[in-house]
Amino acid sequence: MKEPGKKPSQQLSKKQLKSPIFIIIVVALILVTFQIYTVGPMAKNISYSEFKVLVKEGRVDTCQITSSLIRGNLKDEDVPQKQKEFVTARVEDPDLVKELEAQGVKFAGEYESPWIQTLFFTWIIPIAIFFLIWRFVLKGMGPAGGVMSFGKSKGKLYAQEDLKYTFDDVAGIDEAKAELSEVVEFLKTPHKFTSLGGKIPKGVLLVGAPGTGKTLLAKAVAGEAGVPFFGISGSEFVEMFVGVGAARVRDMFSQADQKAPCIIFIDELDALGKTRGINPLGGHDEREQTLNQLLVEMDGFDSNKGVIIMSATNRPEILDPALLRPGRFDRQIVVDRPDLNGREAILVIHSKGVKLDKDVDNRAIAAMTPGFVGADLANIVNEAALLAARRDKKAVGMAEFEEAIERVMAGLEKKKRLINKKEKEIVAYHECGHALIATFLKTTDEVKKISIIPRGVAALGYTLQLPTEDRYLMTREELIDRISVLLGGRAAEDLIFSEASTGSQNDLEKATEIAKKMVKYYGMSDKLGIVTFEQENRSVFFPGNFGTTKNEYSEETAREIDLEVKRIIDECFLRTKDILSKKKDLLIKLAKILMQKEVIEQKELREILDKENEENTCTDKDK
Residues that are catalytic = 431
Shorter beta-carbon distance to ligand ADP: residue 245 or 374? 374
Cα dist from 189 to 164, 184, 302, 304, 309, whole Å? 21, 9, 16, 11, 17
Shorter beta-carbon distance to ligand ADP: residue 72 or 172? 172
Shortest distance in whole angstroms from residue 211 CB to ligand ADP = 5
Residue showing the smallest CB distance to Mg ion in the complex: 215
- Contacts of residue 280, defined as CB under 8 A and 6 or more positions apart, other chains included, come to none
Shortest distance in whole angstroms from residue 620 CB to ligand ADP = 48
- Contacts of residue 377, defined as CB under 8 A and 6 or more positions apart, other chains included, come to 343, 346, 347, 350, 369
Shortest distance in whole angstroms from residue 287 CB to Mg ion = 20
Tell me the β-bridge partners of 87: 45, 71
312 backbone φψ class: left, alpha, beta (φ>0; ψ -120 to 50): beta
The answer to whether the beta carbons of residues 307 and 261 sit under 8 Å apart is: yes
Cα dist from 165 to 95, 312, 350, 377, 502, whole Å? 91, 17, 13, 18, 42
Q: Among 197-205, 207-215, 438-446, 586-594, which window interacts with Mg ion (CB under 5 A)?
A: 207-215
Query: Rounded to the nearest 10 degrees, how much is the dihedral formed by the CA atoms of 344, 350, 354, 358?
Result: 0
DSSP label at 114? Answer: T
* Among Zn ion, ligand ADP, Mg ion, none, partner that 489 touches (CB below 5 to 8 angstroms by kind): Zn ion
Which of 485, 471, 472, 553 is CA-nearest to residue 519? 553
Shortest distance in whole angstroms from residue 221 CB to ligand ADP = 12
Q: Among 153-161, 165-173, 358-366, 502-510, which window interacts with Zn ion (CB under 5 A)?
A: 502-510
Q: In what order do the strands lie in the sheet with 60-65?
A: 44-45, 85-89, 69-74, 60-65, 106-109
* Among Zn ion, Mg ion, ligand ADP, none, partner that 171 touches (CB below 5 to 8 angstroms by kind): ligand ADP
Shortest distance in whole angstroms from residue 165 CB to ligand ADP = 8
* Among ligand ADP, Zn ion, Mg ion, none, partner that 173 touches (CB below 5 to 8 angstroms by kind): ligand ADP
Shortest distance in whole angstroms from residue 507 CB to Zn ion = 4
Shorter beta-carbon distance to ligand ADP: residue 252 or 312? 312
Shortest distance in whole angstroms from residue 185 CB to Mg ion = 24
Cα dist from 247 to 151, 152, 242, 479, 541, whole Å? 5, 7, 10, 52, 32
Tell me the β-bridge partners of 466: 446
Alpha-carbon radius of gyration of the chain: 41
- At 234 the three-state DSSP class reads helix
Cα dist from 607 to 265, 492, 588, 601, 614, whole Å? 43, 21, 16, 10, 11
* Among Zn ion, Mg ion, ligand ADP, none, partner that 210 touches (CB below 5 to 8 angstroms by kind): ligand ADP
Q: What is the rounded CA–CA span in Å between residue 123 and residue 120?
A: 6
Q: How many Cα atoms sit within 13 Å of 317 on the Cβ side?
A: 4
**Interaction between residue 215 and Mg ion (CB under 5 A):** yes
Shorter beta-carbon distance to Zn ion: residue 202 or 434? 434
* Among Mg ion, ligand ADP, Zn ion, none, partner that 223 touches (CB below 5 to 8 angstroms by kind): none
Shortest distance in whole angstroms from residue 267 CB to Mg ion = 5
Among 267, 345, 489, 579, binds Zn ion (CB under 5 A): 489
Shorter beta-carbon distance to Zn ion: residue 316 or 489? 489
Shorter beta-carbon distance to ligand ADP: residue 176 or 600? 176
* Among ligand ADP, Zn ion, Mg ion, none, partner that 608 touches (CB below 5 to 8 angstroms by kind): none
Shorter beta-carbon distance to ligand ADP: residue 167 or 193? 167
Residue showing the smallest CB distance to ligand ADP in the complex: 374
What are the backbone angles phi and psi of residue 370, rounded to the nearest 5°? -65, 140
Q: What is the rounded CA–CA span in Å between residue 502 and residue 518?
A: 26
Binding residues (CB under 6 A) for ligand ADP: these are 170-173, 208, 210-216, 312, 346, 349, 374-375, 378
Q: Among 82-90, 209-217, 334-342, 613-621, which window interacts with Mg ion (CB under 5 A)?
A: 209-217
Q: In what order do the strands lie in the sheet with 446-451?
A: 462-466, 446-451, 599-601
* Among Mg ion, Zn ion, ligand ADP, none, partner that 507 touches (CB below 5 to 8 angstroms by kind): Zn ion
Shorter beta-carbon distance to Mg ion: residue 43 or 323? 323
* Among Zn ion, Mg ion, ligand ADP, none, partner that 231 touches (CB below 5 to 8 angstroms by kind): none
Peptide bond into 261 cis (omega under 30): yes
Shorter beta-carbon distance to Zn ion: residue 494 or 507? 507
- Contacts of residue 549, defined as CB under 8 A and 6 or more positions apart, other chains included, come to 534, 535, 537
Strands 156-158 and 229-233: antiparallel
Q: What is the rounded CA–CA span in Å between residue 380 and residue 359?
A: 16
Shortest distance in whole angstroms from residue 231 CB to ligand ADP = 11
At how many degrees (to 10) do helices 340-350 and 374-390 cross? 50
* Among Zn ion, Mg ion, ligand ADP, none, partner that 170 touches (CB below 5 to 8 angstroms by kind): ligand ADP
Shorter beta-carbon distance to Zn ion: residue 228 or 454? 454
**Interaction between residue 379 and Mg ion (CB under 5 A):** no
* Among Mg ion, ligand ADP, Zn ion, none, partner that 201 touches (CB below 5 to 8 angstroms by kind): none
**Interaction between residue 507 and Zn ion (CB under 5 A):** yes
What are the backbone angles phi and psi of residue 231, rounded to the nearest 5°? -110, 130
Q: What is the contact mask toward Zn ion in residues 36 to 75, using x (rule: CB under 5 A)?
A: ----------------------------------------
Shortest distance in whole angstroms from residue 321 CB to ligand ADP = 23
Q: List residues binding Zn ion (CB under 5 A).
A: 489, 507
Q: List residues binding Mg ion (CB under 5 A).
A: 215
